[in-house]
Amino acid sequence: MDANGKPFIEAATTLNVSRTGALLKDAPQKIAVGDVVGLRSGDQKCRFQVIWIGRPGTLDAGYMGLKSVEQGKRIWDPKGLDDVADDIDTYVRPPQRENRLLARLKCSLSAEVGSDITVARARVFVTDISIGGCYISMHSPCALESKLTIALWLNERTKMWVDGIVISQHQGLGMGIKFLNLSRKNVEDLNRVLEELSVQPISSE
> Does the pLDDT value for residue 125 go beyond 60?
yes
Residue with the bigger pLDDT between 80 and 2: it is 2
CB atoms within 10 A of CB 1: 13
Cβ proximity of 148 and 114 under 8 Å: yes
pTM: 0.49
Percentage of residues in the chain with pLDDT exceeding 90? 12
Question: What 3-state DSSP class applies to 96?
Answer: coil
Rounded distance between C-alpha atoms, residue 88 and residue 21, angstroms: 5
The average pLDDT across 194-198 equals 84
Question: Residue 40, class by beta-carbon neighbours within 10 Å (0-12 exposed, 13-18 middle, 19+ buried)?
Answer: exposed
The pLDDT value recorded for residue 204 is: 39
What domains, with CATH codes, occur in the chain?
A: 1-94 (2.40.10), 105-198 (2.40.10.220)
Rounded distance between C-alpha atoms, residue 154 and residue 51, angstroms: 36
Tabulate helix, strand, coil % of the chain (nearest 5).
5, 40, 55
Task: Quote the DSSP letter at residue 59.
Answer: T
Rounded distance between C-alpha atoms, residue 48 and residue 202, angstroms: 39
The pLDDT value recorded for residue 7 is: 78
The pLDDT value recorded for residue 58 is: 67
Residue with the bigger pLDDT between 8 and 195: it is 195
> Does the pLDDT value for residue 97 go beyond 70?
no
The pLDDT value recorded for residue 44 is: 83
